[in-house]
Amino acid sequence: MYSGTTFRKQSGGFIGVHQKIDRVARRNLKTMPGIGPGFPSIKEILHFEGDNGPDGIKRKSPSQDEPWHYIDPTKADDRQLIDMILDHQDNLTEALKVNNHARAAFEAAWIAHAIVDGLTPAHHYPLSDKIEELWGKPKEERLTIKDKNLIIGSGKRDTLSKNWEYWGAKGVFATHFMFEFGVATSIKTTRFVKTGPTEEWIKRAEGMGLEKVFLESVHTVFDMDMYHTFWKSGWNAKLARQTREKLIPEIIQTVTYAWYEAYRKAGI
């Protein structure tokens, strides 16, 4: 999801989707049973978003230790993102146990970012496979800014064609960006007041654990078929309504639960 330009620390304050979801999730966390003091404030969490978040890494050191927040819901063995989320939650739990506030804020922000991206329809597109197809090598081998942004084909025509397929109108990147920007603009004025998990939902989630809760949400979002719809017909009122009423509330609920479970595991 869109988190600002990452060129300055406050770039996502106005329209950043990650920042908005974090704010609502932190507000909802306060209302959940057994939640007391000790969890980082929203100001502390947002310090590790935008330029200090996962998206900032993409600009500062492309393809080097860059978090890969994509998941293919059609592949049961695609566990890279799931394992990353569970690692962040373990680290958050440990940081809360020892009252390491800065580390807890970092882990809270980064697990939220990973979950939000993993539940974003655009992140269900098999981008890794497309990069390897166009660049002729895995994404991890694009080690410079130039290499990450310019595809070298077998000749001038092939180079132009491949770059247009990725960067041009209706290209892979342009479509991804415009979908996420459409989400950002469609929720700008929405407060998401009634998005906190119900007591019944919490009880069911506690019996499942974060991994199953996250995967269930992944498939719920995937079944909405929003990205495919956008690719065919562009952004429209139906997609905007679906974003506000279903997509974002689903994401907020999952982020809130990830923080809640870490807090309860920490036993503070």
Which region among 110-119, 144-153, 245-254 has the lowest average model confidence (pLDDT)? 144-153
What would the pLDDT profile of 203-254 be if each residue is shown by its tens digit? 999 999 999 999 999 999 999 999 999 999 999 999 999 999 999 999 999 9
What's the distance, CA 250 to chain centroid? 13
Task: State mean pLDDT over 149-153.
Answer: 94
Sign of CA dihedral 241, 247, 248, 250: positive
Rounded alpha-carbon distances, angstroms, from residue 251 to 18, 158, 186: 10, 40, 15
Contacts of 225 (CB under 8 A, 6+ apart): none
What would the pLDDT profile of 120-134 be if each residue is shown by its tens digit? 999 999 999 999 999
Flag whether pLDDT at 6 surpasses 70.
no
CA dihedral 252, 253, 258, 262 (to 10 degrees): 110
Segment (H or E) for 217? helix 210-224
What is the Cα–Cα distance from 9 to 44, expressed in whole angstroms? 13
> Token pair of 126, please?
């098999």
Flag whether pLDDT at 63 surpasses 90.
no
- Are 16 and 184 a contacting pair, CB within 8 Å? yes
